[in-house]
Chains A and B, each alone.
Chain A
């Protein structure tokens, strides 16, 4: 696969450097510190996600909390705020924030929806049968939660936690803003210092190894999740718990506080900075230039990604299940490939093989394609899968050649999904920061880099319009998902049954975020 080339080259390059320098780079005290810092960050964010997501999911899925359909949307919305924009909003309001705790705080707020949304869906879609059976067998409510509800909801939470953990591990902007020496920042610094690129390469591989380790650990703890629905009959939804007045007030206070810190503070901070900007005046041509830059690079990236994704998606949608499983594995591995690593490897690759391509628009677009290919494959595959193969074979029997049959039937019917995939790649690529910083042509600016350069010199006021533009762009897929979530009926019917559409973790991953 084309996308593996950058990574392979990184390995080659590291091996070339010779065993001694690898060992030297690995055994430096700095490497150990970086590993410990990154692990501490990731583990703390996992704990933070659980602390924020579990009560939220329970309130939204299992109680009659007033306004829960509204809170379902606000619980998903932090996904629309790129995490480094959130970091910027917090540091602009509280300039004293820095260090590991600040990064843990912001990353937990930015990633908890990855856990809260699928967990809510899992709790809501559980059949009442198992919990009732447990009660009739002599278990109280707490024992039922411990022995039945939690084990059954765990796979959904584990998948969400993996996404949050991978996202945190590969996050560059937030750790850089709070000056946390996690892998991404150390690699970037080593690359900028240029005299120590072997060290950057070694650390990159170590980072990828850590990400793969997370994927493996998650697969282990998740266990046999996919086959957990037994029987074929109609499910009966678990009845919502009637909250007492006091409990309702407590639940509302929790949801409002959560919304305030995850959405309210960033919104307030950005608005205040924006008002300051108006006072000092602002260069709109610069913003427009950055927007054009973002759209151009991302659009080319999306085009390449779809071109690479389509053949794979067609094969995966129509053929063997082993291949499908491989593709699905690759999709998660794609999340495990940090932007800073792809950026670094493409810098090496172009400099060594094709110096003319170094820091060109096409290399940058290629980086986007590599990074977001899994998203493109996922979206195209599911829409192609939904077209019955019989339609295509009927077209063949009516005298159309294979290519023409595909384009006039399957392609024609699946194109909205494929286009949505392309749009998703485009919007996600616009938020990409570290690879853009490394690969962009000199003088070429995107919204992300402009925001970055302003937060880097602590010109917080000037960064606000860029942050706002990014949120607006990022909220397109989040808005689509929010509408789709809100559209699922949750009204309790007289006979006590509900038919909520299950929300799949997979669809949450499509929304993606900044790297």
Chain B
């Protein structure tokens, strides 16, 4: 361990509500100034984990250490108000009986609450300068979240917890607010944990992503690693669109599939011969018109099929092709795919696939 202790350290944490534990043995370290996203489907235990870190729930086993101080362990317990952890709850949870300044200054000592310079400074920071006298019920959803953020930052917490703070905002606003919040937290070097079920959100703003499933953290990695090198098939399916191809025959670094012989990355490769499934991302496939490829040439890594459906998004499009042996594959292209439903096309593999031992999850 380095000289500076990690801002947050979880050791074999188990948390439950009396019955089956919801968080089953989570260990995680978060360094100073780091932005970590905890990504998981609903019911994966991610919010329970966050509530245990905040001190709203008492873990049944394991320990939580914040900035070198043990706050929850077998024989120790520090209540939430003494942990110096800021929380931005899902719905903001602003105090309706107070105005904006009252909300932001809530956690400050009485003296600092009266002198409003700190409060207006915080409001300016979150882009709400001059809104001191506003009432929480007069604010839009995005503004409420910003006030909740300013309120959590006011006492200068060691660690900031964001509990799906953007999920109640509509799509356009969500991207805008989270980009701003991310830039702000980076600038003031606040250590942050974001809990979310939105893959795009986690991948786009976190330094590291911890993927949670059934109460355990299955992978902690940089966003691109989680997407391109998922450690389980479950993660691979969860973080983005996936093309799954059964393996008929395999060599050391290639596998025979419906798309012909496909290159397979050697990293984390299951024992030779045991991988029964390879996966590709739709952008690792491309479409070529049937006629441009001469007959007989390039039979490796390609296959013929019929366009079945097209999902056009403007900036890109996802085309579903039914291969001749009946396997469906998804192909992503920047912009439009230039094909129509019913066209005969050839699918070409342009990257390396990942192999998994067991297709049953």
Q: Per-residue 0/1 for B327-356: is the Cβ within 8 Å of any A Cβ (1 yes, 0 no)? A: 000000000000000000000000000000
Inter-chain contact B87/A132, CB cutoff 8 Å: yes
Shortest A489–chain B CB gap in Å is 17
Query: B96 contacts which of A137, A138, A228, A494 (Cβ < 8 Å)?
Result: A228
Most buried by A among B19, B84, B106, B135: B106
A321-356: which residues lie under 8 A (CB-CB) from chain B?
A: none
B97-A233 in contact (CB<8A): no
Identify the closest chain B residue to A229 (Cβ): B96
Interface string of A145-157 (1 = CB under 8 A from B): 0011001100000
Closest Cβ of chain A to B238, distance in Å, is 21
Selected contact of A127 from candidates B18, B22, B55, B93, CB within 8 Å: B93
Q: Could you write out 11 A-B pairs with CB less than 8 Å apart?
A: A130-B95, A132-B89, A135-B80, A136-B54, A136-B87, A137-B86, A137-B152, A138-B107, A139-B107, A140-B79, A233-B168
Tell me the bound Cα distance from A9 to B81 in angstroms: 62
Q: Which residues of A contact B90 (CB under 8 A)?
A: 129, 233
Q: Is B203 an interface residue (CB 8 A)?
A: no
With A129-B89, A137-B81, A140-B79 given, can you name 9 additional A-B contacts, CB distance below 8 Å?
A132-B54, A137-B155, A138-B84, A138-B107, A140-B81, A148-B95, A231-B91, A231-B168, A233-B91
Contact status A227-B137, CB under 8 Å: yes
- From B20, B56, B168, A132 is in contact (CB under 8 Å) with B56
A230 at the B interface (CB under 8 A): yes
With the chains together, A110 CA to B61 CA distance in Å?
49
Residues of A21-37 whose CB lies within 8 A of B:
none
Closest to A226 in B: B137
Partner of B151, one of A137, A147, A494, A495: A137
Contact of A494 among B19, B54, B86, B152 (CB under 8 A): B19
A133 touches B55 (CB 8 A): no
List A contacts of B137 (CB < 8 A): 227-228, 230
Q: Is the CB of B89 within 8 A of A133?
A: yes
In the complex, whether B59 has a CB less than 8 A from a CB of chain A is no
User: What are the residues of chain A within 8 A of B151 when measuring CB–CB?
Assistant: 133, 137
Binary flags per residue of B55-71, CB closer than 8 Å to A gives 1, else 0 = 11000000000000000
A residues 119-142 in Cβ contact with B at 8 Å: 127, 129-130, 132-140
Q: Is the Cβ of B91 less than 8 Å from the Cβ of A230?
A: yes
B144 sits at the interface (CB 8 A)? yes
Compute how far the CA of A136 lies from the CA of B56 in the bound complex, rounded to whole angstroms: 9
Distance A223 CA – B97 CA, assembled complex (angstroms): 9
Q: Does B77 contact A (CB under 8 A)?
A: no
Q: Do residues A152 and B106 form an inter-chain contact, with CB atoms below 8 A? A: no
Tell me the bound Cα distance from A229 to B144 in angstroms. Answer: 13
CA distance in complex: A228, B135 (Å):
10
Please indicate the chain B residues that have their CB under 8 angstroms from the CB of A442 in the complex.
none
Which B residues are within 8 Å of any A CB, using their own CB?
17-20, 22, 54-56, 79-87, 89-97, 106-107, 135-137, 141, 144, 148, 151-152, 154-155, 168
A496 beta carbon closer than 8 Å to chain B: yes
CB distance from B188 to the nearest CB of A (A): 18
CB of A232 closer than 8 Å to a CB of B: yes
Tell me the minimal C-beta distance from A15 to chain B in angstroms.
44
B87-A231 in contact (CB<8A): no
Alpha-carbon separation in the docked complex, A494 to B45 (Å): 13
Closest to B160 in A: A136
CB distance from A476 to the nearest CB of B (A): 37
A486-515: CB near B (< 8 Å → 1, else 0) gives: 000000001110000000000000000000
A137:B144 contact, CB within 8 angstroms? no
In the complex, the answer to whether A137 meets B93 with C-beta atoms within 8 Å is no
B22 proximity list for chain A (CB < 8 A):
495
User: A222-249: contact bitstring with B at CB < 8 Å (1 yes, 0 no)?
Assistant: 0110011111110000000000000000
Give Cα A151 to B102, complex, Å: 13
Name A135's contact: one of B56, B136, B141, B154 (CB within 8 Å). B56
Q: What's the Cα separation between A135 and B107 when bound, in Å?
A: 9
> How far apart are B41's CB and chain A's nearest CB, in angstroms?
15
CB pair A136–B85 under 8 Å, yes or no, is yes
A152 CA to B98 CA, complexed, in Å: 10
Q: Are A138 and B18 in contact (CB under 8 A)?
A: no
Q: Please name all residues of chain B whose beta carbon is closer than 8 Å to the beta carbon of A223 when the two chains form the complex.
A: 97
Q: How many A-B residue pairs lie within 8 Å, measured between CB atoms? A: 98
Binding site for B on A (CB under 8 A): 127, 129-130, 132-140, 147-148, 151-152, 223-224, 227-233, 494-496
Q: How far is the CA of A330 from the CA of B6 in the complex (A)?
A: 63
Q: How far is the CA of A106 from the CA of B84 in the complex (A)?
A: 50
Distance A152 CA – B106 CA, assembled complex (angstroms): 15
List of B residues within 8 angstroms of A152 by Cβ: 95-97
Of the candidates A135, A151, A494, the one whose C-beta lies within 8 Å of that of B18 is: A494
Question: Which 9 pairs from chain A and chain B are nearest by CB?
Answer: A129-B93, A137-B107, A231-B91, A135-B80, A228-B96, A136-B87, A151-B97, A129-B89, A233-B91
Docked-complex contact B79 and A136, CB < 8 angstroms: no
How many whole Å from B56's CB to the nearest CB in chain A? 5
Shortest Cβ distance from A232 into B: residue? B168
CA–CA, A468 and B19, complex, Å? 48
Name the distance in Å between A161's Cβ and chain B's nearest Cβ: 18
Q: Is the CB of B155 within 8 A of A138?
A: yes
A325 to chain B, nearest CB (A): 18
Residues of B within 8 A of A229 (CB): 96
A496 to B48, CA, bound (A): 10
| A144: nearest chain-B partner, CB-CB | B81
Contact B86 A136 (CB under 8 A): yes
Select one of A127, A135, A137, A147 contacting B91, CB under 8 A: A127
With A129-B89, A230-B144 as contacts: A134 and B97 at CB distance below 8 Å: no
A128 to B144, CA, bound (A): 17
Complex interface: chain B residues within 8 A of A148 (CB): 95
Q: Which residues of B contact A134 (CB under 8 A)?
A: 95, 106
A127–B148 alpha-carbon span in the complex (Å): 15
Chain B residues within 8 Å of A233, by CB: 90-91, 168
**Which A residues lie within 8 Å of B136 (CB)?**
230
CB distance from A221 to the nearest CB of B (A): 12
Q: Which residues of A contact B85 (CB under 8 A)?
A: 136
Nearest-CB distance from A497 to chain B (Å)? 10
What's the Cα separation between A167 and B186 when bound, in Å? 60
Q: Please, how many angstroms separate the alpha-carbon atoms of A212 and B129 in the complex?
A: 43
Contacts of B168 in A (CB 8 A): 231-233
Distance of A152 from chain B, by nearest CB (Å): 6
Q: A133-B89, A135-B56 are in contact. Are A230 and B81 (CB under 8 A)?
A: no
Contacts of B93 in A (CB 8 A): 127, 129-130, 132-133, 230-231
* A152, B154: Cα distance in complex, Å: 22
Nearest-neighbour CB distance to chain A for B54, whole angstroms, equals: 6
Kindly state the separation between the CA atoms of A140 and B107 in the bound complex, as whole angstroms.
11
Q: How long is the Cα–Cα vector from A282 to B225 in the complex, in angstroms? A: 91
Taking a contact as CB atoms closer than 8 A, the residue among B141, B144, B152 that contacts A136 in the complex is B152
How far, in whole Å, are A82 and B151 apart by their CA atoms in the complex?
A: 50
CB distance from B82 to the nearest CB of A (A): 8
CB distance from A211 to the nearest CB of B (A): 28
Interface contact A230-B86, CB-CB below 8 Å: no
In the bound complex, CA of A127 to CA of B54 (Å): 17
| Nearest B residue to A154, CB-CB | B97
Given A137-B107, A139-B81, check contact A129 B54 (CB 8 Å).
Answer: no
Chain B residues contacting A130 (CB-CB under 8 Å) are 93-95
What is the minimal beta-carbon distance from A462 to any residue of chain B, in angstroms?
Answer: 53
Which residues from B are CB-within-8-Å of A147? Answer: 106
Neighbouring A residues of B97 by C-beta, 8 Å: 151-152, 223, 228
Chain B min CB distance to A223 (Å): 8
Give the CA-CA distance A230 to B168 in the complex, in Å. Answer: 12
List of A residues within 8 angstroms of B54 by Cβ: 132, 136
In angstroms, Cα B96 to Cα A129, docked, is 12
Q: Which residues of B contact A138 (CB under 8 A)?
A: 81-82, 84, 107, 155
User: Which of the listed residues B55, B56, B155 has the most CB atoms from chain A within 10 Å of its own CB?
Assistant: B56
Query: With the chains together, A139 CA to B105 CA distance in Å?
Result: 13
